[in-house]
Amino acid sequence: MASTLNAARYENSVMAEGRNRVFLDLAAQGQKILEFGCSTGFLSRHLVERGCKVTGVEIDAEAAEKARQWCDQVFVADLNKPDWTNSFSRNYDTILFGDVLEHLVDPARVLRQAAELLLPNGRVVISLPNIAYWKIRASLLMGKFEYTSVGILDVTHLRFFTPSTARKLIEESGYRVISTHPILSKGKLSGLIRRLFPGPFTMQTIFVAQVQQ
């Protein structure tokens, strides 16, 4: 979940710009939404404007207070503590993990717990950054692995994933992936090259999944 120092720093993240539209479109297909890492509600607001009812969860109490203007409810909770589910019931058709799981000590446990809060045929929408992005690979070739304030090497990240290991995490946590949406970088290289070889140019992958029956 967002850093306790300043959750709002993610609102204007360059990495987030490309995925927000896709993430929102997928999320808004639900009606009763549980949004983990809601920060100040900058995405919750758009979901509410599309007719969704949003319950937010945020570790940063100051950010959570700002999110209350958009969300039906906002809970201040730390997903790294196993008892966080005590405040919730099985009441949601969509659960959102937008750049959240990489901040957790045990993301698999949290995904399994979240499954218990989904209505039958409910979905999770998960966004995870790609540690195999070409810029990270290039930095490693030069012997560099330097954390940053936001982005793929965010200083608060505890876990790192490629698209394939992210999918493995989701599936081994009891879900069936029903669609994937790579968020490709922009730049001077042609869009054709990016589409033909998406792996190195994927900054993040958005997964939509359902609980395995």
- The CATH code of the domain that includes 107 is 3.40.50.150
- The answer as to whether 2 is a domain residue is no
**What percent of the chain shows pLDDT beyond 70?**
86
pLDDT digits (tens, 9 = 90+) for 123-138: 999 999 999 999 999 9
The mean pLDDT value of the chain amounts to: 89
151 residue type, one letter: G
How far apart CA 36 and CA 72 sit, in angstroms, is 14
Is the per-residue pLDDT at 111 higher than 50? yes
Q: What is the mean pLDDT of residues 107-122?
A: 97
What pLDDT, on the 0 to 100 scale, is given for residue 213? Answer: 82
Digit-coded pLDDT (tens) for 145-181 = 999 988 899 999 999 999 999 999 999 999 999 999 9
Which residue range is the domain that position 51 belongs to?
Answer: 7-211
CA neighbor of 180 nearest in space, from 188, 168, 193: 168
Note whether 194 and 212 are within 8 A (CB): no
Mean pLDDT of 79-108: 95
71 within some domain: yes
Contact between residue 167 and residue 177 where contact means Cβ atoms under 8 Å apart: yes
Q: Is residue 90 part of a domain?
A: yes
Mean pLDDT of 201-206: 92
Number of domains forming the structure of the chain: 1
61 within domain boundaries: yes
Q: How far is CA 161 from the centre of its chain?
A: 12
d(CA 82, CA 80): 6
Q: In this structure, is residue 168 part of a structural domain?
A: yes
Nearest Cα to Cα of residue 167 among 120, 79, 108:
108
The answer to whether residue 136 sits within a structural domain is: yes
Confidence of residue 15 (pLDDT cuts 50, 70, 90): very low
Query: Is 33 among the domain residues?
Result: yes
Give φ, ψ of 17 to 5 degrees.
Answer: -55, -45
- Is 1 part of a structural domain of the chain? no
